[in-house]
């Protein structure tokens, strides 16, 4: 028996603004009975603020720009050394409580790590490996969809990540680096890295087995492209107030 139709959209290496616009636009354009979508991408600007975080949390002289991530309240580190995936599914496919979306969406991620010999496990909305965090996740309802995003972390630039956060003192910066070194891990430190296509194919197979979906590669439709354009314009707005209004519109 054939599985339910689903769509796999490769976005390649993009700016975070573009990735965020793709996710927000696709989700906002879906009907309640639409096909599930997975967006597979990499982003080349690292630090993303959560909805509840002020820009004062960032180091004011950092060279990397920061953008507002439209999912969740926590900040995320998203750079070219990780493969980002975003699951966009009709809410009827997701567990009723949003707090259960993480376990539902991330089980195939854990299974993929284990397929490649990494004994990963889920703890809340984080994925852990050998007692250290290897991935976080964020989620939000957008339009008729449940949206969950996470990534496969190949390498984590410890110093660069710590340097992006506002430092009240040099002692705090040292403490932060030491803390990250003890609590965060990366695929490269735990096993041989896999080629992108091998990882993508394995993850896709795990998703299909978990949900009974059958993915076809595709591109945004004309309607979705227009919605992505609207999201892109809203995300380009520089003010905090504009970003907050945009996120309120998505939640509605």
For the segment 43-70, what is each residue's pLDDT rounded down to a tens digit? 876 544 444 444 434 444 444 455 555 4
Distance between CA atoms of residues 23 and 37, nearest Å: 10
Res 154: pLDDT: 87
Instruction: Give the start-to-end residue ranges of the domains of the chain.
Output: 4-251
Average pLDDT, the chain: 78
- How far is C-alpha 226 from the geometric centre of its chain's CA atoms? 22
Give dist(CA 246, CA 185) in Å, integer: 34
Mean pLDDT, to the nearest integer, of 115-126? 93
Q: Is the dihedral of CA 192, 193, 199, 203 positive or negative?
A: positive
Q: What is the DSSP letter of 211?
A: H
Q: Reduce the DSSP state of residue 229 to 3 states and report it.
A: helix
Dihedral angle sign, alpha carbons of residues 101, 105, 110, 194: negative
> What is the spatial order of strands in the sheet that 76-77 belongs to?
67-68, 47-49, 76-77
Q: Which pLDDT does position 95 carry in this prediction?
A: 93
pLDDT tens, 7-47? 999 999 988 788 889 999 999 999 999 999 999 998 876 54
Which has the higher per-residue pLDDT, 206 or 194?
Answer: 206
pTM over 0.95: no
**4-251 belongs to which homologous superfamily?**
Bira Bifunctional Protein; Domain 2 (3.30.930.10)
């Amino acid at each position: 028996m054939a599985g339910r139709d689903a769509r796999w959209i490769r976005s390649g290496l993009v700016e975070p603004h573009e990735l965020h616009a793709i996710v927000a636009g696709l989700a906002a354009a879906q009907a309640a009975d639409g096909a599930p979508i997975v967006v597979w991408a990499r982003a080349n600007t690292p630090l993303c603020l959560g909805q509840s975080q002020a820009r004062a949390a960032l180091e004011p002289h950092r060279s990397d720009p920061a953008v507002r991530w439209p999912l969740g309240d926590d900040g995320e580190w998203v750079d070219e050394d990780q493969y980002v995936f975003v699951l966009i599914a009709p809410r009827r496919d997701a567990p009723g409580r949003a707090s259960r979306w993480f376990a539902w969406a991330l089980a195939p991620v854990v299974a993929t790590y284990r397929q490649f010999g990494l004994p990963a496990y889920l703890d809340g909305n984080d994925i852990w490996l050998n007692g250290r965090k290897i991935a976080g996740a964020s989620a939000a309802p957008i339009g008729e969809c449940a949206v969950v995003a996470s990534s496969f972390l190949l390498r984590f630039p410890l110093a660069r990540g710590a340097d992006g956060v506002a430092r009240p003192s040099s002692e705090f910066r040292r403490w932060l680096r030491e803390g990250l070194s003890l609590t965060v891990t990366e695929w490269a430190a735990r096993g041989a890295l896999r080629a992108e296509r091998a990882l993508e194919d394995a993850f896709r197979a795990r998703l299909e087995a978990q949900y009974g979906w059958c993915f076809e590669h595709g591109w945004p439709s004309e309607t979705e492209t227009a919605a992505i354009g609207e999201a892109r314009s809203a995300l380009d707005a520089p003010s905090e107030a504009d970003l907050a209004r945009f996120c309120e519109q998505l939640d509605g």
